[in-house]
């Protein structure tokens, strides 16, 4: 006898399997597909940058602002903010939310569903901000484009919302992986910064997505990293105290960046003044130091090789940091990861130069400190130490740098968090010291959709029914009866079928046969003894966290799960109660029902 039937391979069966917490094979398939899609999108985004650079950048290089005439590169940011202001601020405020912060918001409050308009805006805003000379990166757009595309795949297939969360992480990891050619760092970034949790069921699909994203990018651009990295080693352990001091300085810089980017003094200014401030200040600095414009990977590579002068390093540390923070505070949606890496590398390189003056015989090469500074700055700004360390390892291919790397990262993270009082850059709201995605109960409930625990044995009925209709209703042995009301403004109620069965048994033996019938000879389900639960609808794709919030907010007794997309064709698939949710997260020996 065949082990599988044709029904096991239908889309409906695929959706039912994904509703459970242990749908690992199905999630892995989705991870691979989303990784390929995201990798292709990242190639497309980079091609757009290259095509745009061919219009006016020297040799078609998106980073070659130094080769432009001073007046032209100073004018570029002003034109860019005007373009973004005219095209983006004419749209609704919700359509102007882009980048990693938008991804986390949609994952936290919208179960990983993304609006199409924001996704389309991300394409042109990402290209214009980088090529227009603002201090902006391409990783934020890459994460948004990848996460939204992967989630869109799930939405098109009408998959449960718990799988959409994993797809968002898959798109995020593949976006980072395709941008830096660092698949492992992409996985850790997705879990540490976006999902804010580590689970086996998420890790494996995300790893596959990150691998496929890197593979697609390597087929087009080769296996080289986003920027060349020299061979580095720490040398003497006497350098470690200097690494600690460097981590302390970078932690303070990271705290300054976060505080400036969130300062209310800038956000309260009129829009035209904020945009003008960004354009004019960026253009003014670019007259003398064009290295502050764009992503800055060329400057980062030069810092790693010790090829930048002290004044340029100071310009990158101070001016690029403040320009990036000012742009963010003004409401312009840019990617910050690339500029943050450049600032960190410049800070590390300057520390290396100072160390060489203090201990010329013992001090390590400037490139060592630049690499450590890059990782420390990324970790301190994002509060993502593991992602930064994995990026450091994959970029250097040198495990010996992990010891000083861990020291620099920990010191920088602690300094930013404790001395500067900063949470991670993308954590904008907390409750009881935790972001909503970090709350253990909501994390557990978000991993499962309602079909996994709902009671499917239900029958719909009207309020009034004859004894014969009641007997036919009970023949299928339902657990719940869904009582439909005469008007839509009245709430739908649920009654245990056992209550009706008990009532009928009690009254069949009564002297007056069914003495509880009304004047029309009908049973009134609102009058027989028994507890009736007031219910509200919830979609079949919803997670247990959505059900939990609905039951808490509306003080309902239960929810009825509706299936179908056309209003007149919707049907009730089951009922989910508070007790069912409690049984799931308490995990009794029998496990969740369904």
Write out pLDDT tens, residues 179-224.
Answer: 888 899 999 999 888 888 777 777 899 999 999 999 999 999 887 7
> Comparing 110-124, 194-208, 302-316, which segment has the lowest mean pLDDT?
194-208
Are residue 417 and residue 524 in the same domain, yes or no? Answer: no
Q: What is the pLDDT of residue 524?
A: 83
Q: In 3D, which of 25, 43, 394, 390 has the Cα closest to residue 215?
A: 43
- In this structure, are strands 464-465 and 492-496 parallel, antiparallel, or unpaired? unpaired
Name the helix (H) or strand (E) containing 481.
strand 480-484
DSSP secondary structure letter of residue 530: S
Are residue 493 and residue 428 in the same domain, yes or no? Answer: no
Domain-ending residue, one of 382, 401, 436: 436
DSSP secondary structure letter of residue 96: G
Q: What is the pLDDT of residue 364?
A: 78
DSSP secondary structure letter of residue 520: T
Q: Is the predicted pLDDT of residue 2 greater than 60, yes or no?
A: no
Which phi and psi (to 5°) does residue 579 adopt? -60, -40
Are residue 258 and residue 360 in the same domain, yes or no? Answer: yes
Averaged pLDDT, 521-550? 84
Averaged pLDDT, 241-266? 93
Q: Is the predicted pLDDT of residue 263 greater than 50, yes or no?
A: yes
Averaged pLDDT, 451-475? 85
Are residue 82 and residue 145 in the same domain, yes or no? Answer: yes
Are residue 569 and residue 480 in the same domain, yes or no? Answer: yes
d(CA 237, CA 398): 16
Would you place residue 512 in the very low, low, confident or very high pLDDT band (cuts 50, 70, 90)? low
Q: What is the pLDDT of residue 590?
A: 42
Are residue 412 and residue 537 in the same domain, yes or no? Answer: no
- Other CB atoms within 10 A of residue 508 CB: 10
Are residue 373 and residue 469 in the same domain, yes or no? Answer: no
- In this structure, are strands 558-563 and 492-496 parallel, antiparallel, or unpaired? unpaired
Are residue 144 and residue 53 in the same domain, yes or no? Answer: yes
Beta-ladder partners of 458? 480
Give tens-digit pLDDT for 378-397.
999 999 999 999 988 888 87
Question: Is pLDDT larger for residue 398 or for residue 587?
Answer: 398
Averaged pLDDT, 292-316? 92
Whether 291 is in a domain gets the answer yes
Are residue 175 and residue 66 in the same domain, yes or no? Answer: yes
| Enclosing domain of residue 313 | 237-436
Query: Could you give the angle at which helices 139-156 and 161-180 cross, rounded to 10 degrees?
Result: 150
Give tens-digit pLDDT for 25-37.
888 999 999 999 9
Q: Is the predicted pLDDT of residue 149 greater than 90, yes or no?
A: yes
User: What percent of the chain stands above pLDDT 70?
Assistant: 90
Number of domain units in the chain: 3
Q: What is the pLDDT of residue 516?
A: 58
Q: What is the pLDDT of residue 373?
A: 95
DSSP secondary structure letter of residue 491: P
pTM of the model: 0.85
Domain-ending residue, one of 189, 209, 227: 227
Are residue 217 and residue 301 in the same domain, yes or no? Answer: no
Q: What is the pLDDT of residue 468?
A: 84
- Other CB atoms within 10 A of residue 230 CB: 15
């Amino acid at each position: 006898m065949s082990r599988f039937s044709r029904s096991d391979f239908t889309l409906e069966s695929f959706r039912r399997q994904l509703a459970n917490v242990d749908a690992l094979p199905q999630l892995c398939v989705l991870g691979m597909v989303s990784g390929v899609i995201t990798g292709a999108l990242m190639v497309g985004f980079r091609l757009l940058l290259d095509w745009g650079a061919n219009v006016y950048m020297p040799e078609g290089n998106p980073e070659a602002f130094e080769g432009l005439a001073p007046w032209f590169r100073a004018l570029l940011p002003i034109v860019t903010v005007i373009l973004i202001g005219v095209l983006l601020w004419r749209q609704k405020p919700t359509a102007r939310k882009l980048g990693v912060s938008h991804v986390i918001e949609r994952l936290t409050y919208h179960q990983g569903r993304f609006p199409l308009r924001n996704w389309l805006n991300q394409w042109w805003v990402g290209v214009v901000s980088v090529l227009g000379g603002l201090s902006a990166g391409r990783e934020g757009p890459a994460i948004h484009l990848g996460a939204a595309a992967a989630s869109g795949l799930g939405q098109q297939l009408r998959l449960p919302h718990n799988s959409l969360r994993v797809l968002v992480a898959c798109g995020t990891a593949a976006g980072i992986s395709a941008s830096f050619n660092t698949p492992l760092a992409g996985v850790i970034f997705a879990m540490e910064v976006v999902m804010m949790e580590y689970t086996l069921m998420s890790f494996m699909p995300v790893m596959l997505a990150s691998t496929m994203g890197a593979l697609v990018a390597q087929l087009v651009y080769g296996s080289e990293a986003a920027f060349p990295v020299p061979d580095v080693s720490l040398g003497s352990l006497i350098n470690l105290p200097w690494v600690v001091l460097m981590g302390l300085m970078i932690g303070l810089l990271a705290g300054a960046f976060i505080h400036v980017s969130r300062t209310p003094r800038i956000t309260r200014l009129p829009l035209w003044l904020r945009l003008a401030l960004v354009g004019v200040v960026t253009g003014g600095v670019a007259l003398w130091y064009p290295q502050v414009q764009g992503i800055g990977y060329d400057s980062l590579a030069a810092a790693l090789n010790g090829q930048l002068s002290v004044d340029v390093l100071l310009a990158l540390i101070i001016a690029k940091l403040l320009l990036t923070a000012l742009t963010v505070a003004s409401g312009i949606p840019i990617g910050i990861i690339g500029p943050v890496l450049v600032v960190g590398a410049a800070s590390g390189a300057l520390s290396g130069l100072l160390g060489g003056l203090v201990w010329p015989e013992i001090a390590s090469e400037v490139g060592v400190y630049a690499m450590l500074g890059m990782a420390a700055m990324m970790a301190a700004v994002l509060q993502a130490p593991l992602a930064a360390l994995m990026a450091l390892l994959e970029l250097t291919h040198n495990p010996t740098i992990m010891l000083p790397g861990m020291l620099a990262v920990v010191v920088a993270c602690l300094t930013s968090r404790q001395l500067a009082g900063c949470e991670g850059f993308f954590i904008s709201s907390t409750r009881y010291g935790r972001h909503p995605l970090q709350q253990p109960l909501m994390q557990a409930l978000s991993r499962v959709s309602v079909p996994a625990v709902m009671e499917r044995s239900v029958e719909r009925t009207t309020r009034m029914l004859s004894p014969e209709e009641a007997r036919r209703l009970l023949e299928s042995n339902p657990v719940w009866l869904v009582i439909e009301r005469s008007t839509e403004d009245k709430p739908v109620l649920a009654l245990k079928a056992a209550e009706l069965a008990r009532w009928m048994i009690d009254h069949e033996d009564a002297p007056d046969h069914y003495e509880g019938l009304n004047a029309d000879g009908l049973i009134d389900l609102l009058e027989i003894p028994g507890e009736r639960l007031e219910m509200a609808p919830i979609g079949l794709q919803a997670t247990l966290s959505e059900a939990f919030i609905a039951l808490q907010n509306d003080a309902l007794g239960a929810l009825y799960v509706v299936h179908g997309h056309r209003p007149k064709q919707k049907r009730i698939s089951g009922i989910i109660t508070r007790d069912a949710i409690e049984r799931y997260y308490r995990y009794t020996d029998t496990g969740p029902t369904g």
